[in-house]
Amino acid sequence: MPSINVANISRLDLNLLVTFQCLMGERSVTRTAAILHMTQGAVSAALKRLRDQFGDELFVRTGTGMAPTRRALELAPKITEALGAISSILSKPNEFAAESTRRVFNIALSDDIEACISPMLVNESQSRGLAVSFAFHQTNSQLWKSALDDEDIDFVLCAEPKEMSSKYASQILFSSSYSCLYDGHRLNVQSPITREEYLSHDHVRISFDGRRGFVDDLLENEGIARKAAASFTHFSGALAVLVYGDTIATLPTFAAHAYARIARLTVSPVPIAVPAFRVFMVWRAAQNESAEQLWLRNFVIETTRELQYASRYVQSSSANGWHD
């Protein structure tokens, strides 16, 4: 269990963090005072104490309201997580009855994560005789905020979400790196694929804009032009070309294994150094205390535990300079 500096915590009035959280969301002393049932003077006094505590202005008055400083933006997700944990301790026990409630959970995620996780969630729900069901919607690390603008979406699963703020809460679900996927019999290429084989065959590129991917950058740094036969903006779109064509794809390891099982393809480590990344659950911070939301997040964490164990291998391999 990690040690906690109790003396350090005792020096801070935790109510100040509530004021910080509200200021971050409202960007207004007047609205914060109204929400917290405080006077504006009390909010200003709390802000002064926060500034003294963290050694930063935190919020600067502008023509459009109280703008957070860079330090405030750095603190915001940590304070949101801390207040969420305290709130969950004080909240009533989870009373969501998944065995009898016919709730449809709406999950937005990218198609590579969907190929891996959706069967796990459905199978686990069926094996436990639950009454809930799932609806899966497409998003990605660039568009995840748009997904959560839809009030029906319960949470998002995506890799390294961009532009987090205190409006959202998040948790790392697991880590991964990349693998190669191809038809080993068709290409007459076994696993592990060699660097020479990797560079000599045509590739399918999968990227957000369909124009360029991280593999292009890695190879270009070595003065090598990637041989891309086709480009796709979705992982599942490349599957037919891998089945019926003489091509290789580089995609997240968890997705490579999922697609390999579906289409009987070959998975291999990538014969060049590739990065690791993290897959996050992201949800609206206002739903931290929702019983059904808590149940859903715990259900996903428990169901994907094998991916979390695999994450430890990825992290260990990353430390040794090699990513599977």
Domain with 79, as residue range(s), is 6-90
List 172's β-bridge partners, or say none: 280
Q: Are residues 158 and 192 in the same domain?
A: no
- List b or e across 101-139, with b for residues whose CB sees 16 or more CB atoms inside 10 angstroms: eebebebbbbbbbbbbbbebbeeebeeeebebebebeeb
| Residue 209: predicted pLDDT | 80
Q: Over the stretch 201-238, which tens digit does the pLDDT of each residue have?
A: 999 999 888 788 899 999 999 999 889 999 999 888 89
Q: Over the stretch 66-110, which tens digit does the pLDDT of each residue have?
A: 999 999 999 998 888 888 878 767 665 557 899 999 999 999 999
Percent of the chain with pLDDT over 70: 90
User: Does residue 61 form part of some domain?
Assistant: yes
| Residue 224: predicted pLDDT | 92
Report the mean per-residue pLDDT for the chain.
88
Q: Are residues 62 and 129 in the same domain?
A: no
Q: Are residues 129 and 253 in the same domain?
A: no
Q: Are residues 290 and 165 in the same domain?
A: yes
Q: Are residues 209 and 138 in the same domain?
A: no
How far apart, in Å, are the Cα atoms of 68 and each of 22, 28, 38, 46? 12, 11, 21, 15
Q: Over the stretch 237-259, which tens digit does the pLDDT of each residue have?
A: 899 999 999 999 999 999 999 99
Question: Where would I find the H helices in the chain?
Answer: 6-10, 14-26, 29-36, 40-54, 70-90, 111-127, 144-148, 184-187, 195-200, 214-221, 239-244, 253-263, 291-303, 305-319
- Asked whether the predicted pLDDT for residue 14 surpasses 90, the reply is no
Q: Over the stretch 179-195, which tens digit does the pLDDT of each residue have?
A: 999 999 999 999 999 99
Q: Using the structure block, give the residue that is written with the tokens 């739903």.
A: 287
Number of domains in the chain: 3
| Residue 91: predicted pLDDT | 61
User: Does residue 95 form part of some domain?
Assistant: no
Q: Over the stretch 101-143, which tens digit does the pLDDT of each residue have?
A: 999 999 999 999 999 999 999 999 999 999 999 999 999 998 9
Check: CB of residue 57 under 8 Å from CB of residue 69: yes
Alpha carbon distance 70, 75 (integer Å):
9
Alpha carbon distance 37, 43 (integer Å):
10
